[in-house]
Structure 1
Amino acid sequence: MTMKTSDKHVLNKKDLRKMFWRSLPMEFSWHYERQMHMGFEYMISSGLQKIYKGQPEKLKEALIRNLEFFNCTAHITPFIGGVTLAMEEENAKEDNFDTSSITAVKAALMGPLSGLGDSIILGTLRVLAVGIGASLAVKGNILGSILFFLIFNVPTFALRYYTSMKGYELGSTFITRIQKSGVMATFMLAAGILGVMVIGGMVDNLVVAKTALKIGSGSSATKIQEVLDGILPGMLPLGFTGIYYYLLQKKVNVIWIIIGTAIFGIICAQFGILKAN
């Protein structure tokens, strides 16, 4: 694969290779509040420093901007990193560039690429590598561990490298094209809608909150949970997520939120207000 470079591009292959190597410890700093955001920041930080050389205020804003929530299959994150650096490069050149589009594009790419990466890399390739490696390892064959290492890591390393280059190449070309056509606003709206849909799907699947309350007694009792599901499925998870979002906006410490959630859950379970499933 070749990548076209010109004077208008700040980054070159050497910079993108550095991003590739920096993508390897992507999950070393994973945590529940913002998940992979520090790994993503580390991956693109050298590129940002080169892009915003001589623009300390813009560099500071970019570093803060890219510390927002981020989560994606680690082996595909260099693609998003490349697109992000291409957009940051445009921001460095243009005073009127809408920086909210950078966050919107990242949010729009996370969900689809995670679904693709989790299915192919973690759900298929890793299982295949484990199956082949384990079948030999149980027989005492040292090739078991070697084959597992090669079958899983060779394709994923190649994918990381390819997406590092392709993300920046496509990103710079794509951003230039939509800037000239004037459809950036439409693209931002679509990306924002997709991002909200992804977050909504995550809330419904990952946040579990059901009430055990009933109106009446015996077999004829009306279950409050069924009433809520009839009005809006996932109403309680959405409500609790909204409360957490509000608390985070108010800068409430995450540790206190976790402790409060645990205490609230114990009390509600003890008095039969909430149930596990």
Structure 2
Amino acid sequence: MSFKFEAAYDKQITRKDLQNLFWRSIPYEHSWNYERMGHVGFTWALMPILQKLYPNKPDFVAAMKRHMELYNMTPYICTLPLSMAAAMEEANASDPDFDTSAISNVKLALMGPLSGVGDAFYWGTLRILATGVGTSLALQGSLLGPLMFLLIFNVPHYIIRYVLTFLGYRFGSEFITKVQESGIMDTIVKMASIMGAMVIGAMTMEMVAVDIPVPIGIGEDVQTLAGLLNGIFPGFVTLGIFGIVYAMLKKKMNPLLIMLIMLILSIVCAYLGILGVPA
């Protein structure tokens, strides 16, 4: 498989480095966790490139920490943000004035939109197609059923995953060059930061579901406390929980300890009827 991207390899990162990035991206989801989701897989895939770009240990450690932040991405297209991050790290390694916050902000800005497209295509389209073909053959007693399912799903997956590795790097390199020449890096960083904050906020609202089933009112007008609060300010209960967790993180509390506290309080409050799951 050949791509006309050789002209982009005029710095430190080579075609072989990107091929290695592709292979290391495959176990991206194997270390997924509830604390920071895919951060370990993302950082592990980038690690050889970071070692090459930052021969000095303090710079390498700083780069590793930069990518150990919360990150979640449809695993089948994770090579796109990975290779873009590699291009931005390459620019940072050669430019002492490069704003490293741009790397995190661009990653966060891509997280929501790319995952939306990736989930819709892989889970909502390709998987359904593969399952339909595989199931129909399996019901006829054919051993080709599971084989066709795996082929229909994984052949396009790996081709797209491989191509995105090079597209992401090329796009990232050209993007950085044009931005630096135009002098609008500060504006790009600010816009990406706002988009990243919006993505995190949307994820919080989508993934946190909680009810306060304490009844307010009498007769037909009775409603839960959560319903009353959310009626005044939509998402108020979720925002309140987010605020409490954020305050705990600001006090440098261990995220695992915060999760344990929330788990215990949730069980106790659910038993007492103070908290519940929205209907």
Alignment TM-score, normalising by the size of structure 2: 0.93
1:46-93 residue CA offsets vs partner (Å, 9 max, x unmatched): 11111223x322111101101111110011111101110111011111
Structure 1 residue 254 corresponds to structure 2 residue 255:
yes
Unmatched tracts of structure 2, length 5 or more: none
SS of match in other structure, 1:19: helix
Amino acid at match of 2:92: N
Aligned equivalents of 1:7 and 1:115: distance in 2?
31
Farther off after superposition, 203-212 or 252-261: 252-261
Amino acid at match of 1:176: T
Match of 2:146 in 1: 145
Aligned equivalents of 1:242 and 1:269: distance in 2?
20
Contact 1:29 1:38 (8 Å CA) reproduced: yes
Shift in Å, 1:22:
0.5
Aligned-residue sequence identity (percent) comes to 43
Match of 1:16 in 2: 18
Aligned equivalents of 1:19 and 1:200: distance in 2?
30
Which residue of the other structure, out of 31, 34, 40, is the alignment partner of 2:33? 31
Match of 2:5 in 1: 3
SS of match in other structure, 2:31: coil
Q: Where do 1:33-182 residues align within 5 Å?
A: 33-53=35-55, 55-182=56-183
Amino acid at match of 2:49: G
Match of 2:230 in 1: 229
Computed over aligned residues only, the root mean square deviation of the Cα atoms, in angstroms, reads 1.6
Dislocated runs of 4+, deviation >6 Å: none
Shift in Å, 1:140:
1.8
Aligned equivalents of 2:141 and 2:222: distance in 1?
61
Shift in Å, 1:7:
6.9
Shift in Å, 1:241:
1.7
SS of match in other structure, 1:274: coil
Say if 1:154 and 1:222 are closer, same or farther in 2 by CA, change over 3 A.
closer
Contact 1:51 1:89 (8 Å CA) reproduced: yes
SS of match in other structure, 1:58: helix
Farther off after superposition, 78-87 or 210-219: 210-219
Contact 2:35 2:256 (8 Å CA) reproduced: no
Say if 1:23 and 1:210 are closer, same or farther in 2 by CA, change over 3 A.
same
Aligned equivalents of 1:34 and 1:215: distance in 2?
37
1:16-49 residue CA offsets vs partner (Å, 9 max, x unmatched): 0000001111111111001111111111111111
Unmatched tracts of structure 1, length 5 or more: none
Shift in Å, 1:207:
0.3
Contact 1:71 1:110 (8 Å CA) reproduced: yes
1:82-119 residue CA offsets vs partner (Å, 9 max, x unmatched): 11011101111111111011000000011100000000
1:181-220 residue CA offsets vs partner (Å, 9 max, x unmatched): 1111111111111111111111111101221223343333
Q: How many residues align?
A: 276
Shift in Å, 1:236:
1.0
Aligned equivalents of 2:256 and 2:13: distance in 1?
40
Aligned equivalents of 2:215 and 2:157: distance in 1?
51
Amino acid at match of 1:224: L
Alignment TM-score, normalising by the size of structure 1: 0.94
Match of 1:202 in 2: 203
Match of 2:188 in 1: 187
Aligned equivalents of 2:223 and 2:40: distance in 1?
47
SS of match in other structure, 2:253: coil
Aligned equivalents of 2:74 and 2:121: distance in 1?
10
Farther off after superposition, 24-33 or 210-219: 210-219
1:121-162 residue CA offsets vs partner (Å, 9 max, x unmatched): 121101111111121112220111211111011101001110
Shift in Å, 1:8:
4.2
1:151-186 residue CA offsets vs partner (Å, 9 max, x unmatched): 011101001110101101110110110111111111
Shift in Å, 1:221:
3.6
Shift in Å, 1:268:
2.2
Aligned equivalents of 2:186 and 2:236: distance in 1?
31
Aligned equivalents of 2:132 and 2:30: distance in 1?
26
